[in-house]
Amino acid sequence: MKLLSLIGARPQIIKEAILNKEFEKKGIKEILVHSGQHYDFNMSDVFFKVLNIRKADYNLGVGSATHAQMTAKTMIEFEKVVLKEHPDIILVYGDTNTTLAGAIVGAKLKIPVAHVEAGIRQEPKDMPEEINRVLTDRISKYLFCPSELAVNNLKKEGITEGVYFTGDIMYDLFLKMKPYFKEDIIDELNLEENKYIVTTIHRDFNTDSKEKLESILKELDKITKEIKVVFPIHPRTKKRIGEFNFNEYTKNILLIEPLDYLSMMGLVQKSHLVITDSGGLQKEAYFAGKKAIVVMPDTGWRELTQASWNVLSEPNEIKNKFHHIMSNEISSNVENIYGDGKAGEKVVTYLESNIVK
Ligand code: UD1
């Protein structure tokens, strides 16, 4: 079996870290393609380094552009690689522009596409990640779901064939790398265990609206009066803070560059709480036993909000939610929602038994 994986943005590189080891174990040939959607050292290379992922065989050098340009350029360049390599299957991950571009190329060339992290759905329907998920699921042949809820979401849309509940690859990675989490990051940042909050904000609906971003920063600033706030900042958010002239709101927040996976998990592990609009981080908080305030109108990881582990928040409610969340009663069993830490192994086993070559 010849397999081609397409990655490009931070969360995909993280997911690849588990699967590439599984492919190696089974002697399956994986050709690794990086679209170049994320290109800064802290957004891409550092993950290859700390997670010990081999260098990509191809880098499409797509970089930042409008959504159409990024998706189109990835498709054009990726198609060339696919036509040259003739893979038996194409793997795409998550919900980025890279994911959708890879899925369209595969489907049009009649090469089966496997979507890792299929079936996640959330409002607003017009957010880029949601558009990418829905379309990718529609044209994928194998849909590997991280949760039972994801399987049900697909069922509601009439997609039942090729759907597998595997558990979440990010949970596999969390368990595998836990012994190596860089918890002494807190000393470097002059923080004390349990006496700070970790925040990340980067979604377009939060960063590109002046009012929403202002609201979020004002709320975080209010929280700094009670507890320290550490903010590893995504390049887009940094850019917007500059453009909107919001630096005054961030002077009490500890703004730092984006962190590598082991440092970020070390920071979360020792924190009091997480405030985020990242799909990945709201789950990683739960893996680490921390609650999260999710600054989104909805989440793809509804199991955690339904159980009152995490809470959703409007930008202007963050401080109130911060006071409520610790007293929330957990309403149902929140153990093992994301599988048993063997999602990667299951993906590879399903692929091996389905693709005869
Ligand atoms: C993308 C994904 C999102 C994922 C996130 C993780 C899409 C639609 N969204 O969002 O699902 O949660 O990655 O980080 O694909 N930039 C840099 N350096 C980089 C990368 C980006 O400066 O290495 C800046 C550029 O100004 C760019 C902006 O960040 O325009 C946004 O990057 P982009 O890749 O479009 O989306 P993300 O917000 O990172």
Higher pLDDT among residues 357 and 261, named by residue = 261
CB 47 within 8 A of CB 260: yes
Count of other CB atoms within 10 angstroms of residue 321 = 18
pLDDT in tens, 156-169: 999 999 999 999 99
Question: Relative to the CA of 204, which ligand 1 atom is closest?
Answer: 38
pLDDT at residue 39 greater than cutoff 60:
yes
Ligand 1 centroid–CA 327 distance in Å is: 34
Q: Going by DSSP bridges, is the β-strand pair 163-165/142-145 parallel, antiparallel, or unpaired?
A: parallel
Length of the chain: 357
Ligand 1 centroid–CA 236 distance in Å is: 7
Determine whether the shortest distance from the Cβ of 64 to ligand 1 is under 6 A: yes
Q: What's residue 105's pLDDT? A: 98
Question: Relative to the CA of 39, which ligand 1 atom is closest?
Answer: 23
Ligand 1 centroid–CA 222 distance in Å is: 28
Determine whether the shortest distance from the Cβ of 21 to ligand 1 is under 6 A: no
pLDDT at residue 330 greater than cutoff 90:
no
Q: Where residue 356 falls among pLDDT bands split at 50, 70, 90?
A: low
In this structure, the residue with its CA closest to atom 29 of ligand 1 is 236
pLDDT at residue 212 greater than cutoff 90:
yes
Q: Which amino acid is at 162?
A: G
Mean pLDDT, range 295-322, rounded to an integer: 95
Q: What's residue 355's pLDDT? A: 76
Which of 118, 87, 93 lies closest to 13 in space, CA to CA? 93
Report pTM.
0.95
Element (H, E) at 229: strand 228-232
φ and ψ at 15, to 5 degrees?
A: -70, -35
In this structure, the residue with its CA closest to atom 28 of ligand 1 is 236
Ligand 1 centroid–CA 5 distance in Å is: 19
pLDDT at residue 332 greater than cutoff 80:
no
| End-to-end C-alpha distance for the chain, whole angstroms | 5
Instruction: Please give the C-alpha separations between residue 23 and each of 41, 77, 103, in angstroms, as whole numbers.
Output: 26, 24, 20
Mean pLDDT, range 197-213, rounded to an integer: 97
Q: How far apart are CA 21 and CA 97, in angstroms?
A: 25
Determine whether the shortest distance from the Cβ of 37 to ligand 1 is under 6 A: yes
Q: How confident is the prediction for the chain on average, in pLDDT?
A: 96
Mean pLDDT, range 300-304, rounded to an integer: 95
φ and ψ at 118, to 5 degrees?
A: -80, 160
pLDDT at residue 5 greater than cutoff 60:
yes
Which of 117, 123, 109, 152 lies closest to 136 in space, CA to CA? 117
Cβ burial, residue 315 (10 Å; 0-12/13-18/19+): buried
Question: Relative to the CA of 203, which ligand 1 atom is closest?
Answer: 38
Q: Is 222 helix (H, G, I), strand (E, B) or coil?
A: helix
pLDDT at residue 180 greater than cutoff 70:
yes
pLDDT at residue 357 greater than cutoff 60:
no
Residue-range domains of the chain with CATH: 2-168+339-355 (3.40.50.2000), 179-327 (3.40.50.2000)
DSSP 127: S
202 is catalytic: yes
CB 221 within 8 A of CB 252: yes
Ligand 1 centroid–CA 69 distance in Å is: 14
Q: Which of 38, 115, 202, 234 is catalytic?
A: 202
Q: Which residue has the tokens 């054009």?
A: 76
Which of 327, 324, 301, 314 lies closest to 149 in space, CA to CA? 301
Q: How far apart are CA 175 and CA 167, in angstroms?
A: 13
Q: Where residue 328 falls among pLDDT bands split at 50, 70, 90?
A: confident
Determine whether the shortest distance from the Cβ of 202 to ligand 1 is under 6 A: yes
Mean pLDDT, range 46-61, rounded to an integer: 96
Task: Render 141-179 in DSSP notation, one character per residue.
Answer: SEEEESSHHHHHHHHHTT--TTEEE---HHHHHHHHHGG
